[in-house]
């Protein structure tokens, strides 16, 4: 079987995280993604953050696998014409410029769809194409704060803390893919594409889900700290050596099972603690009692006992613990790819598993490595024409 998005070509004008994450997911699913970069490259290639792998940042390696790279100077008319011609031979145009930039470039959906009605355009920006903040700069941290998410994280003693793994960026990337797939599905029936408008802020708010509904219903949100204000037990606990989490709240049956493992039948039989509401009313006392017992044994021993009793629990892994974890390995969620230099890079795998499609991974491309091949195969350009474009600085 072919990959689910085989035959779909995406022109990817995105940089940094949100857009590249979206186009990477589409590339993983079989779309041909042509990453169009400035002659200096996506700024994330050499942003000085984290490990340097084969001369480029780990962050760039993480978000740009399975893509081709074409380096084009969009400040030149010939460069804009070249990108426009690539779009004309493609299905999807993806960007993450500030609102208005694509219009100034003449690459906005309203302009392109006149001659190409089937085009699906998707723009990802911090605040979307409408509203008073539409033209402001914004990054993941800004939308986590503005969207309310940071008011729930951290501890009352230390204040808010952001989620440190690109929550707003990657959420908007996922919503972008959903929007593009919906538009492609509609196009299969109508022949017409759509413009998809994705905001990092909107995506952050969408993830708040029931927190929003509770707030509107008069139950104000609280900082969660290390647990949850509405659930117990649903938090990390210390043991004699390392921490674990217990989430024994899916049904009240888990509470007596947990108490049995802890050797505390008195807690299981106490009418005050039989329901989650009752346990929340006595959360401080129960946290103290459960913690005291858990500190008497090591984490591995407790996890064996909790698993045998079917109590939802897990170790608090650090990232190093993921390597070699049997569940992570079984799902192929840490994979190695080989760079052209021969250096090997580990990246997170694609969580979307589909029947009949064996996921393959190619490393992130070097800057402009596919310029000649793409211009020949997609636009039918002769090599001497390509060389003139390179000599005049239109392509890199």
> Which of 311, 324, 169 has the alpha carbon at shortest distance from 248?
311
Question: Does the active-site annotation cover 169?
Answer: yes
Q: Say which of 91, 108, 140, 169 is annotated catalytic.
A: 169
CB atoms within 10 A of CB 169: 26
Buried/exposed 103-136: b ≥16 CB within 10 Å, e otherwise: eebebbbeebbeebeebbbbbbbbbbbeeebeee
Torsion on CA atoms 207, 208, 214, 217, rounded to nearest 10: -80
Which residues lie across from 327 on neighbouring strands?
none
Per DSSP, the residues of 154-207 read SBTTTB----TTTHHHHHHHHHHHHHHHHHHHHHHHHS---EEEEEHHHHHHHH
| Positions marked catalytic | 169
């Amino acid at each position: 079987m072919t990959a689910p998005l085989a035959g779909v070509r995406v022109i990817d004008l995105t940089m940094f995280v949100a857009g590249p994450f979206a186009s990477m997911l589409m590339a993983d699913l079989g779309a041909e993604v042509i990453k169009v970069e400035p002659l200096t490259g996506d700024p994330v290639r050499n942003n000085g953050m984290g490990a340097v792998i084969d001369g480029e940042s780990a962050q760039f390696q993480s978000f740009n696998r399975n893509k081709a790279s074409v380096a084009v100077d969009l400040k030149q008319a010939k460069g804009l014409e070249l990108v426009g011609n690539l779009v004309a031979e493609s299905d999807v145009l993806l960007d993450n410029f500030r609102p208005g930039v694509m219009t100034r470039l003449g690459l906005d959906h309203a302009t392109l769809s006149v001659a190409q009605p089937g085009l699906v355009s998707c723009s990802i920006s911090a605040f979307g194409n409408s509203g008073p903040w539409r033209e402001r700069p914004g990054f993941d941290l800004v939308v986590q704060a503005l969207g309310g998410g940071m008011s729930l994280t951290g501890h009352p003693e230390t204040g808010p803390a952001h989620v440190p793994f690109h929550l707003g960026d990657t959420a908007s990337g996922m919503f972008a893919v959903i929007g593009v797939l919906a538009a492609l599905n509609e196009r299969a029936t109508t022949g017409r594409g759509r413009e998809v408008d994705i905001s990092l802020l909107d995506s952050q708010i969408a993830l708040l889900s029931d927190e929003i509904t509770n707030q509107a219903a008069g139950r104000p949100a609280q900082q969660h700290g290390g647990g949850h204000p509405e659930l117990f037990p649903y938090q990390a606990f210390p043991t004699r050596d390392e921490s674990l989490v217990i989430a024994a709240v899916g049904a009240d049956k888990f509470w007596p099972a947990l108490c049995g493992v802890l050797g505390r039948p008195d807690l299981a039989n106490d009418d005050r603690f039989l329901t989650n509401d009752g346990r929340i009313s006595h959360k401080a006392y129960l946290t103290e009692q459960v913690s005291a017992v858990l500190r008497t044994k090591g984490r591995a021993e407790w996890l064996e006992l909790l698993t045998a009793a079917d109590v939802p629990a897990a170790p608090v892994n650090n990232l190093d613990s993921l390597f070699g974890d049997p569940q992570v390995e079984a799902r192929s969620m840490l994979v190695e790819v080989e760079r052209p230099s021969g250096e090997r890079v580990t990246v997170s795998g694609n969580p979307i598993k589909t029947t009949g499609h064996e996921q393959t991974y190619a490393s992130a491309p070097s800057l402009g490595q596919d310029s000649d091949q793409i211009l020949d195969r997609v636009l039918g350009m002769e090599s001497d024409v390509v060389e003139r474009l390179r000599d005049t600085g239109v392509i890199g």
